[in-house]
Every structure is written in structure tokens, then in C-alpha cells.
Copies of this chain bind each other. A is one copy, B any other.
């Protein structure tokens, strides 16, 4: 449930969400946890990427996942097979995770585990290239996925997601040979929206680019990337 807001109400809403996100981040910082927020369209490959990532990193890092889905625990069940705690949040009719929902996930982590033993928490957001980009949840960095099957123009058409991301993953690279697509144009369009983010082209199926992603995650954990609390963007 959501609506088109007038600017004043919208800004109040984002301020309230931001305060909750800052509070969540304080928890993560206190426990020495890095939190990464994964966002994309439905079916861009967030869950399969997490499967590969949990398999590769769980021997060296203590991991957990906060898994957002409107309904079902299908993704949470897939990820639990990797032996890491997965806290499922059903958002119901909501099209994104907000900081209050993620706070609920953090409280579950606190109740059932010893949070300070964790190194890294992945938040897998609801599949939606629009709404999750507006709602910080307490992450230290945002990761956006765009599959090659979605087309070259998406960074221009959904600018906020591509501006907000710290790391942009172009996924399903194995399908590129079967598409009329120019990978350089995708990169140029991403760069037009976001000159500084890390861009990694990868295929979870063939493993191409996966090491670059895993190294980016390792360095995010090592440097405990801190995002400065930010103001909601002006309306208009």
C-alpha cells in the first residue's frame, strides 16, 4: 500500500524512516556488523547470488540474512540450506522493506543469537526497482542488481535506484549472447546516473565476475563502510 504524496507529508515520512535506519545502523555498528542492502527488479537474481555468496563466504565470515518478501518464505527456505540464520519478513501489501520492518529482523537476531558474533548481514529487499531505493533500512552500503535481460535503458528510466547504489551488479551475463544488447551501453547508462559506484558484470550460473563481487563484499566488511546519515532528496 502506498500513494503519491504531497511533498510535506512525503518528507516527514522519509525523515521518520531515516531516524529508524540510523537507529538500526547504530545497532549494527555496536555489534561490529556490516549490513548490505540488496535491491533489484523481481527475478534479477538476488537470491541465487546470495546462494553463491553464502556458499563462498560462510567458511570465512559469520553471516546472516534478513529476507524481505511480500508473501511466502520460498527465498528464505532456499537460503537456510546454507546453514546461516535467515530471518524472513513478509511485507504483506508493502512494496519495500522500511527501517521499522528491518528493526523487527534485528530484534529477532538479538533474541535468538549473539549479534556481536556476526560479521555481515545481508538484507534482501522486495523485488522492485522503484520503491526500495527511497527507504534506507540501516545498511552500510546499497547493492543494486540489473539483469542483462531487462534492457540497456533501465538506468535512465529508474534513476533513483542507480544513483543510490554503492555497488551495481549487471547479472545473468551468460544470457548476453542470446540478446540484442550492448553491454558497454549498459555501463555507460549506469555511469551517466552514478559516476563513482563500483560496477561488476557477473553470472551466478557460470561464476564469471563472482570473485570480483566476493572481493567487493570482503572489502566492505574490512573497511566497515559507513554511510553518512543523509537527508531525503527534494521533491520535484
Binding site for B on A (CB under 8 A): 1-5, 10, 13, 41-43, 69-72, 74-75, 91-96, 98, 126-131, 134, 147, 149-151, 153-154, 156-160, 172, 174-175, 178-179, 235-236
Contacts and interface: CB of A to CB of B under 8 A. Distances in A.
B2 A69 contact: no
Contact of A1 (B74, B134, B158): B134
A2 B131 contact: yes
B158 A42 contact: yes
B3 A127 contact: no
A85 to B, nearest CB: 21
A131 B130 contact: yes
Q: Which DSSP category, helix, strand, loop or mixed, fits chain A's interface?
A: loop
A158 B43 CA distance: 11
Contacts of A42: 41, 129, 150-151, 154, 157-158
A235 B93 contact: yes
Copy count, this protein chain: 2
A79 B72 CA distance: 37
Pairs A-B, 9 closest by C-beta atoms:
A2-B2, A43-B150, A95-B130, A149-B149, A1-B10, A1-B5, A4-B94, A43-B151, A41-B41
16 contacts: A1-B3, A1-B4, A1-B235, A2-B2, A2-B3, A2-B95, A3-B5, A3-B98, A41-B127, A43-B150, A74-B157, A127-B154, A128-B130, A175-B178, A175-B179, A178-B178
A153 B74 CA distance: 8
Q: Which of A4, A92, A129, A178 has the largest count of B CB atoms less than 10 A from its CB?
A: A4
A43 B5 contact: no
